[in-house]
């Protein structure tokens, strides 16, 4: 990077970010001697001359950037344009007014004859409806109901029957995708309460996007059927140089609500450069009257087009530019994406900048509070990786937000006062730095960031503003430049070179205004995905890995092998390229023993770690029990394109951490290693003197088969799984137990695992204390507990399945 560019860029960013660069936030408990720098392959305090330190902490995910599975980003429903509602009684329009504090109600006790009907105006495709009685807690849910659909309003087809639930404020009915104009919910039960509906919504989820229902056409050229054949290596092409008036069009077969169109091409082919030089996107219900929803400039390889959620049966992309290249498309797709960027677009459209910020503030003021920083301090962590969405700093047009720094400054000060460093992580970049919602925008690979010089310039500006604001601040551990940067699932040398060159541009931009802070660079999916620091002369840098094995979440052996592989590889990485490593994200799922070995191993080699994440709204049932220290919050999330502002805010304010379930065992395990403990030495309890009893035994199983230390033998229930089956162990004497592992025989691991469990301890075999409960799965299932004395251990099966419950080994540990 030449000095002329550096000088020009610095002048530009200081001019553009006048409102952004103000007085540097004062550090509190962390002082000047705590300033971190790289020294060889470790971090050291006192600007690299003091004590060695490895960073040990977590991520504050879902706060300053949304991810729909983790935070209450919300969901998109069908747009309500042209809808009308009628009912058996009352003012049905109140069920579709966007206001959860108003309601349609029968005004009389439920007798089985009530109904609510919506005419959507045009034939639409959908697969789910919801009707809520939020804030009407008097039991006004449907005691029983049937969902019917119709194209004519006279002939009806039942698609779902069910019953409401007193413990849930929203009733959900899912079904195979259907095409219809009318939806009717009939209340078929009886009760001494009215039936009330605060809001009625209809959804076209991913299952509704069935290409078998679509047809494609074009203004000319050849191969229009190739637009939707699922094969990016085939293509439609204009066969002529680009001129205004060319178009490609999809007929979706029915009206659908969408917020995205993607035009993709085969990678490393001549088609990559045949992108539209300019475009507009239009939607129509009838193929003749069109509404423009987007316009812009295409990007090489793939063009990802987002817009506020809108409805239509026909989708047309018009090429409006001029170039001596053909226009070619390998695949054309549409979607309804739930990501941070699409949330922001719709909020801005519906509520304006001020109204949208009010909604963001409601979430940010609720999701993380001072109580959460106290929780982290109590765990003993010494740093937090702070994921920041680019939309926290900039408006969607690239201008700076007036409140860009408020929450970032506050978090740094709060954490610093508790002796905790903050790593500033630009978790999303404009256009998306990877194809997943975790990068802020769902899209193709490469996503829009890598093909847009405008977006890349914005990120340079962002990092120079950050560096100017926090230069010299010892509470800031460093700058994590781009989260999970990825140009292709199988990046080649050209991809790596392009990514590394942009990293070098960011490095130079930061160093121009902050020569001292650590810079963190993502090596995603490994060190082969980024050039060595010596290539560009980078110094004071850390490389970051995210070791996940998501396909094998319920496989102890796979998660344990993941840890083994990374710990074994680490000495080589510390030698070459010889920089410190941050394991900035990971989850090892339900395996406390694997977590412990992982953190002990990294502490022993003085390398840094932060699990993903601090809190998540998901539950054990959907596999999120170990994705956050706090989890299990099932309150309704906002409906982004139909809830009014007050309803939006009200829903977001229900997600304070105090309403979540604390994962005590996960907290205890991480707390144990947050102080730097570097040993992992589990101590198993001798099985000598153990005896077992059970609720039943069958087939080739024996009572002793579960405790004899021989995986070739087993105990099984002798009957299909039903709640209440149990297996009890008498250890013969009182022992201290910290963990119990239950192992399903390998030959039946996919079928004979306990669907759920309750673990109980007793010192006398009569009075029992529940010490753990949760979901089960095949293979090895560790269950950690607060270490305590017991003689008797009882495992009760709490689920239902058409398979026996089998165990080939139960092992207990006094420590792990």
Structure tokens at 411: 């978090």
Largest CA distance in the chain: 86
- In terms of phi and psi (left: phi > 0; alpha: psi -120 to 50; beta: otherwise), the region of 328 is beta
| 8 Å CB contact between 557 and 779 | yes
Residue with tokens 């239950």: 742
State the sign of the Cα–Cα–Cα–Cα dihedral 501, 503, 504, 508.
positive
For 325, 427, 466, the CA distances from 331, given in Å and listed in that order, are 18, 28, 39
pTM comes to: 0.94
For 27, 37, 46, 803, the CA distances from 472, given in Å and listed in that order, are 10, 12, 12, 62
- Give the number of other CB atoms < 10 A from CB of residue 223: 17
Which backbone phi and psi does 256 adopt, to 5 degrees? -135, 155
Alpha-carbon distance 118 to 201, whole Å? 10
Alpha-carbon distance 204 to 258, whole Å? 9
For the chain, which ranges sit under pLDDT 70?
1-28, 134-137
Q: What is the pLDDT of residues 189-224, one digit of tens each?
A: 999 999 999 999 999 999 999 999 999 999 999 999
Residue from 215, 315, 324, 330 nearest 263 by CA: 330
Upstream peptide bond of 613 is cis (omega within 30 degrees of 0): yes
Helix axes 453-470, 493-513, angle to 10 degrees: 40
| 8 Å CB contact between 116 and 106 | no
For 17, 146, 450, 455, 711, the CA distances from 398, given in Å and listed in that order, are 11, 48, 16, 8, 61
How far the first Cα of the chain sits from its last, in Å, is: 51
User: What pLDDT sits at residue 135?
Assistant: 56
Q: What angle do CA 563, 568, 573 make, to 5 degrees?
A: 110
User: What pLDDT sits at residue 42?
Assistant: 98
Alpha-carbon distance 741 to 784, whole Å? 8
Rg (CA), the chain: 29
Residue with tokens 């390889």: 301
| 8 Å CB contact between 101 and 107 | no
Q: Is 546 exposed, middle or buried (0-12, 13-18, 19+ CB in 10 A)?
A: middle
Residue from 445, 381, 450 nearest 418 by CA: 381
User: What pLDDT sits at residue 122?
Assistant: 97
Residue spans of alpha helices (H) in 424-539: 453-470, 493-513, 533-536
Three-state secondary-structure class, residue 181? strand
Alpha-carbon distance 721 to 799, whole Å? 7
HEC assignment per residue over 604-665: HCCCEEEECCCECCCCHHHCCCCCCCEECCCCCCCECCCCCHHHHHHHHCCCCHHHCEECHH
| 8 Å CB contact between 370 and 658 | no
Stretch (H or E) spanning 173: strand 170-187
The neighbouring-strand residues paired with 255 are 124
For 33, 108, 172, 201, 643, the CA distances from 97, given in Å and listed in that order, are 58, 22, 19, 11, 8
Q: What is the pLDDT of residues 61-75, one digit of tens each?
A: 999 999 988 999 899
Residue from 209, 231, 174 nearest 337 by CA: 209
For 330, 666, 690, the CA distances from 811, given in Å and listed in that order, are 55, 20, 11
Structure tokens at 638: 């906002």
């Amino acid at each position: 990077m030449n000095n002329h560019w550096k000088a020009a860029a610095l002048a530009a960013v200081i001019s553009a970010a006048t409102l952004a660069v103000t007085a540097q936030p004062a550090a509190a408990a962390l002082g000047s001697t705590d300033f971190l720098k790289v020294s060889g392959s470790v971090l050291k305090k006192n600007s690299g001359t003091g004590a060695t330190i490895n960073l040990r902490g977590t991520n504050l995910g879902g706060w300053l950037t949304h991810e729909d599975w983790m935070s209450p980003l919300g969901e998109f429903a069908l747009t309500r344009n042209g809808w009308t509602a009628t009912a058996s009684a009352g003012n049905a329009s109140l069920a579709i007014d966007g206001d959860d504090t108003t309601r349609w109600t029968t005004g009389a006790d439920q007798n089985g004859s009530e109904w609510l009907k919506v005419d959507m105006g045009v034939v639409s495709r959908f697969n789910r409806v919801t009707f809520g009685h939020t804030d009407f807690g008097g039991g006004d849910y449907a005691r029983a109901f049937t969902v019917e659909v119709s194209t004519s309003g006279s002939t009806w087809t039942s698609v779902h029957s069910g019953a409401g639930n007193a413990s849930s404020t929203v009733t959900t009915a899912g079904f195979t995708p259907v095409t219809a104009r009318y939806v009717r919910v009939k209340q078929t039960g009886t009760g001494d309460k009215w039936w009330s509906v605060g809001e009625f919504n209809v959804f076209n989820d991913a299952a509704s996007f069935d290409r078998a229902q679509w047809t494609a056409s074009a203004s000319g050229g050849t191969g229009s059927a190739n637009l939707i054949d699922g094969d990016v290596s085939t293509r439609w092409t204009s066969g002529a140089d680009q001129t205004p008036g060319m178009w490609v069009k999809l007929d979706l077969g029915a009206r659908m609500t969408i917020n995205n169109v993607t035009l993709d091409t085969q990678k490393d082919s001549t088609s990559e450069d045949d992108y539209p030089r300019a475009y507009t996107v239009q939607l129509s219900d009838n193929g003749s009257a069109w509404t423009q929803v987007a316009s812009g400039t295409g990007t090489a390889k793939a063009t990802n087009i987002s817009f506020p959620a809108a409805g239509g049966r026909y989708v047309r992309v018009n090429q409006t530019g001029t170039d001596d290249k053909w226009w070619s498309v390998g695949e054309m797709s549409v979607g309804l994406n739930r990501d941070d960027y699409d949330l922001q677009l719709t909020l801005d459209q519906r509520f304006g900048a001020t109204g949208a910020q009010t909604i963001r503030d409601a979430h940010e003021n609720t999701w993380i509070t001072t109580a959460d920083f106290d929780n982290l301090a109590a765990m003993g962590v010494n740093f937090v990786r702070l994921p920041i969405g680019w939309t926290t700093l900039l408006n969607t047009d690239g201008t700076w937000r007036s409140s860009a720094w408020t929450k970032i400054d506050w978090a740094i000060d709060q954490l610093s006062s508790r002796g905790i460093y903050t790593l500033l992580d630009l978790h999303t970049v404009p256009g998306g730095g990877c194809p997943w919602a975790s990068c802020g925008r769902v899209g193709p690979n490469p996503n829009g960031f890598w093909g847009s010089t405008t977006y890349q310039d914005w990120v340079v500006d962002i990092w120079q503003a950050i560096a100017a604001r926090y230069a010299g601040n010892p509470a800031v551990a460093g700058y994590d430049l781009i989260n999970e940067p990825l140009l292709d699932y199988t990046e080649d040398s050209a991809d790596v070179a392009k990514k590394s060159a942009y990293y070098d541009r960011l490095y130079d931009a930061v160093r121009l205004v902050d020569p001292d802070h650590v810079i963190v660079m993502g090596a995603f999916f490994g060190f082969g995905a980024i050039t060595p620091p010596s290539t560009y002369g980078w110094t004071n840098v850390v490389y970051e890995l995210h070791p996940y094995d998501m396909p094998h979440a319920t496989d102890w052996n796979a998660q344990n092998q993941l840890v083994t592989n990374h710990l074994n590889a680490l000495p080589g990485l510390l030698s070459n390229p010889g920089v410190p490593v941050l394991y900035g994200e990971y989850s090892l799922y339900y395996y406390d023993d694997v977590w412990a070995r992982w953190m002990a191993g990294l502490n022993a080699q003085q390398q840094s770690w932060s699990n993903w994440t601090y809190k998540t709204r998901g539950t054990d049932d959907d596999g999120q029990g170990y994705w956050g220290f706090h989890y299990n919050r099932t309150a309704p999330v906002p409906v982004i394109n139909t809830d009014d502002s007050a309803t939006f805010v009200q829903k977001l304010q229900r997600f304070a951490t105090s309403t979540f379930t604390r994962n005590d065992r996960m907290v205890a395990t991480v707390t144990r290693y947050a102080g730097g403990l570097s040993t992992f030495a589990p101590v198993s309890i001798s099985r000598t003197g153990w005896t077992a009893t059970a609720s039943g035994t069958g087939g080739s199983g024996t009572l002793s088969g579960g405790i004899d230390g021989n995986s070739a033998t087993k105990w099984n229930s002798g009957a299909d799984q039903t709640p209440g089956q149990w297996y009890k162990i008498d250890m013969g004497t009182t022992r201290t137990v910290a963990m119990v592992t239950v192992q399903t025989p390998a030959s039946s691991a996919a079928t004979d695992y306990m669907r759920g469990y309750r673990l109980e301890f007793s010192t006398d075999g009569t009075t029992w204390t529940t010490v753990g409960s949760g979901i089960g799965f095949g293979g090895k299932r560790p269950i950690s507990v607060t270490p305590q004395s017991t003689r008797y251990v009882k495992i009760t099966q709490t689920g239902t399945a058409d398979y026996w419950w089998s165990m080939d080994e139960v092992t207990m540990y006094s420590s792990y």
